[in-house]
Amino acid sequence: MARTTIRNVRPWGGDPVDLSCADGVIVAIDPASPGAGDALDGETVDGAGLIALPSFADVHVHLDSTRWGLPFRSHTAGPSLREHILADRAGWREDAPIAEKASAMLGRMISRGTTKVRSYAQIDSDAGLERLDGVLEAKERYARECDVTIMGFPQSGIISDPPTARILDQALTLGAIDVVGGIDPCAIDRDPKGHLDVVFGLAEKYQKPVDLHIHETGTLGAFSWDLVFERVRALGMHGRCTISHALALGSNDERTVRTLIEQLVELDVAIATVAPRGSVQIPFRELVAAGVRVGLGQDGMRDYWSPYGDGDMWNRLFQLCWSQNLKTDDELRHGAYAATLGGRQVIDPAAPRPDALAGTPGIEVGDEADLVLVAGETLSAAVVDHLPDRTVIRAGVPLG
């Protein structure tokens, strides 16, 4: 059994160790040995005292929308959500093919330490399965370097764009998507019952999880959440639902937010945040304390929605910590957990759920050997500085 030995790394910023990896998992952890000699039966990687973390998991990215690598395009979409949707619909065919753009961004993400991805792929009467096919091609191209799950995303609505339900059903019949998506059932379709009936009906028919893009705020957002919770209960879909953006948590009174969080815990509904820049912020500390699965994603990157985004989850982790005003070592560690192990738990509810403060979660004997090595005096310093140098380990083997 050939091994890769990663010498002199500091799991989560702790004491230096040597990690031995074989068959994609960590098989031994020993105190760091002097020198950088070869492993007895495999490759040796000099970790140079870097901090080792589980690799990043991006739980919310639109690989079918990115324009990464193309000439910079000025942002021209109007301020409303609908205007952004229409700008994307009007422009996406003007650029390079979806597979080319999605592959460029996915390769960039992997090079910066992401090996777990949940990507959206837009499905509607305009795109049909074309955008999905492009994401599938990128997924296949990087299958050895990254695990990609795909969510069929009805961004233009379902009730307001009637062919969409049929096309989603077709994609599920073909086995092309892993997650059934939805979006703002009140604000986009103005028919929350009809919208959620289709989403959860398809999820039940094909035994798939759901991921709902809910930007809705205030009492409208809380109302949509209650309808989602009703369906999760009725269908026994505990642990198989994600609410993305989740802005209702940052725009309601304390009592309503507490009730929403209690239901997230009861039904094991996950939260995917993109660390938004605006004034509406999810209560990250409260979610972590309650034990809610919270993952981090980059959303759109250099696309018709926003000129921002660079494919580097280390930078998005900094944005999460900065926007949430996370300062203490424990808080910064919780942020790093969301960007790594928390994301794994959103993508796969059966993934291990170690305590964020218990030893070196995700870097123990028997754990998957997908790692990212980053520079920093301590983990907190590393998060705050988010330096660009990176070593990426996939299944125990260094990439690049």
Query: Which fold would CATH assign to domain 3-54+359-398?
Result: Urease, subunit C; domain 1 (2.30.40)
pLDDT (0 to 100) of residue 395:
96
pLDDT (0 to 100) of residue 1:
58
Query: Which residues of the chain are modeled with pLDDT < 50?
Result: 37-39
The secondary structure of residue 90, as a DSSP letter, is H
**Do the beta carbons of residue 47 and residue 372 sit within 8 Å?**
no
pLDDT (0 to 100) of residue 339:
98
pLDDT (0 to 100) of residue 35:
62
pLDDT (0 to 100) of residue 40:
52
Query: Which fold would CATH assign to domain 56-347?
Result: TIM Barrel (3.20.20)
**Do the beta carbons of residue 44 and residue 5 sit within 8 Å?**
yes
Domains 3-54+359-398 and 56-347 share a fold: no
Beta pairing, strands 397-398 & 390-394: antiparallel
Domain range list for the chain: 3-54+359-398, 56-347
pLDDT (0 to 100) of residue 81:
77
3-state secondary structure of 117: strand
